[in-house]
Amino acid sequence: MMAQKNTDSYVFTSESVTEGHPDKVCDQISDAILDAILTKEAELEAEGYIAPSGEPASAKNARSACEVLVTTGLVVLAGEVRTQAYVDFEAVVRKVIAEIGYVDPELGFDAKSCGIINAIHEQSVDIAQGVDESFEVQHDKGCDDPYELIGAGDQGMMFGYACSETPTLMPLPIFLAHRLAERLTEVRKDGTLAYLRPDGKTQVSVRYEGGKPASVEKVLISTQHEADIDLEGQLKPELIEAVIRPVFKQWGVDWDERGVYTNPTGRFVIGGPTADAGLTGRKIIVDTYGGAGRHGGGCFSGKDATKVDRGAAYAARWVAKNVVAAGLAERCEVQVAYGIGMAEPLSLLVETFGTSVVAPSDIVNAVRAVFDLRPGAILDALDLRRPIFRKTAAYGHFGRELPEFTWEKTDRIDALKAALR
């Protein structure tokens, strides 16, 4: 098939938030707790620890579904975990908050003085049984495939997306919004703009011509700051020079200063959890594709990767990115669906939006041949039992080609091409 061209002119917008945004504070705490559990379990496993129940410690057996709420002076932890290790949740919480930059009691929320309510409890055995022994194994005791053993930690559908708009195969609006948010935090922490405070948001509007990004039309940055800052004479020009210009220069982006807006409501001194309560999992579009790709509805943070909300969403991005990287399509969206406790996916859909260079049905067959999307296989292929998850909890789970982000690898290009032949 020839790639279908979109000749319309339109503007698409995506947003990001900094690590000090209340919802992102929650995501980072949730994932830091998961990382702590995985780390402690691995340490106990290395020591050969056996629990009184007779169960050995192992990161493979650890489970987490941790939720966090933050508000003025308070952190509430909830959810369920399974671990043989002792984790000092309070110490984890205070460390994360301090590293983000909430260390001043005058902000109404700080690492040393905030109250912490811990309501985390043990994972339900009813949920655990389907992950420990899948539906397939329970109904076929002779099964010896190790990847049939682990069932999905929940039901649902997950999406992955990739496109050829940026070097990391992400949509340009969300990619730039994340880079601006990262830079906003960088200049706060390194002292370039020392009057900034942790909370902030970025938003980028990109004009498309013929389905391709043509220029950045609007940029919005709202950032918390100290009280005595001149918003027009200081904040705006310094954000342009220290944040926007370096990012857009690095990525070769065409933009116009006349389309820049900073703190349009004016003063932004009261921020963070004092101004707005935060919750885990409330920034799922920021976490994924900025609205350019569909979303199944489940969040990632706080969940170990047996929860397919996370593990399968990472795998779907891995599949979509390899399809685009292989030159099989300019855009690719992958949907995979699961039943709780079941190893085999219930459905697989590959959508290329008319941009594929081969028949879409052939791409689906190649994906099925190359990628094993059972939860156990995903855990092994992407090495998702490591304590790497707090790093994912701000500035996007996708489009960051870091060593820990194994789902960003384009390591199945040759296999996909071979399958098509």
The first and second tokens of residue 228, run together, are: 């005595």
- One-letter amino acid of 280: T
Q: Which of 179, 197, 282, 412 is catalytic?
A: 282
Q: Torsion-angle region of residue 196: left (phi > 0), alpha (psi -120 to 50) or beta?
A: beta
321 assigned to active site: no
91 is known as an active-site residue: no
- Please confirm, yes or no, whether 23 is among the known catalytic residues: yes
In terms of C-beta density within 10 A (0-12 exposed, 13-18 middle, 19 or more buried), how is residue 216 classed? Answer: buried
CA–CA dist 316, 407 (Å, integer)? 9
Could you tell me which residues are beta bridge partners of residue 160? 334
Is 31 in the active site? Answer: no
**CA 178 to CA 185: how far, in whole Å?**
11
| Torsion, Cα of 16, 208, 260, 197 (10° steps) | 10
Query: Residue 382, Cα to own-chain centre: how many angstroms?
Result: 15
Query: Distance between CA atoms of 227 and 195, rounded to whole angstroms?
Result: 9
Query: Which of 80, 99, 344, 372 is flagged as catalytic?
Result: 80
Q: Is 24 a catalytic residue?
A: yes
The residue from 19, 24, 181, 315 that is catalytic is 24
Q: Is 304 a catalytic residue?
A: no
Q: Which of 275, 277, 337, 415 is catalytic?
A: 277
Amino acid at 396: G
Of 82, 188, 307, 321, which is the active-site residue? 307
- Catalytic: which of 283, 317, 331, 400? 283
Decide if 411 is catalytic: no
Among the listed residues 133, 186, 217, 276, the single catalytic one is 276
Structural tokens at position 159 = 């999406």
Please say if 199 is a catalytic residue: no
The kind and range of the H/E element at 35 are helix 22-47
CA distances 92 to 27, 38, 112, 304, 404, Å, are 13, 13, 12, 17, 21
The token pair at 90 is 């309070």
Note if 80 is an active site residue.
yes
Quick check: is 178 catalytic? Answer: no
In the sheet with 74-82, reading across from the earlier edge strand, the strands are: 115-122, 74-82, 63-71, 278-279
Is 22 in contact with 1 (CB distance < 8 Å)? no
Query: Which residues are paired to 220 by β-bridges?
Result: 203, 261
Token match 């000092």: residue? 88
Ranges of beta strands (E only) in 359-408 are none
Q: Please state, in angstroms and rounded to a whole number, the distance separating the CA atoms of residues 18 and 24.
A: 7
Encoding tokens for residue 337?
A: 């669906």
Catalytic residue among 12, 159, 268, 389: 268
Q: Which position among 15, 19, 27, 67 bears the catalytic label? A: 67
Quote the radius of gyration of the chain (alpha carbons, Å). 22
Query: Which of these is catalytic: 21, 179, 183, 374?
Result: 21
Q: Which of 309, 330, 351, 408 is catalytic?
A: 309
Q: Name the burial class of residue 109, with classes exposed (0-12), middle (13-18) and buried (19+) by CB atoms within 10 angstroms of its CB.
A: buried
Question: Which one from 23, 27, 154, 287 is the annotated catalytic residue?
Answer: 23
Question: What residues act catalytically?
Answer: 21, 23-24, 67, 80, 201, 268, 276-277, 282-283, 303, 307, 309
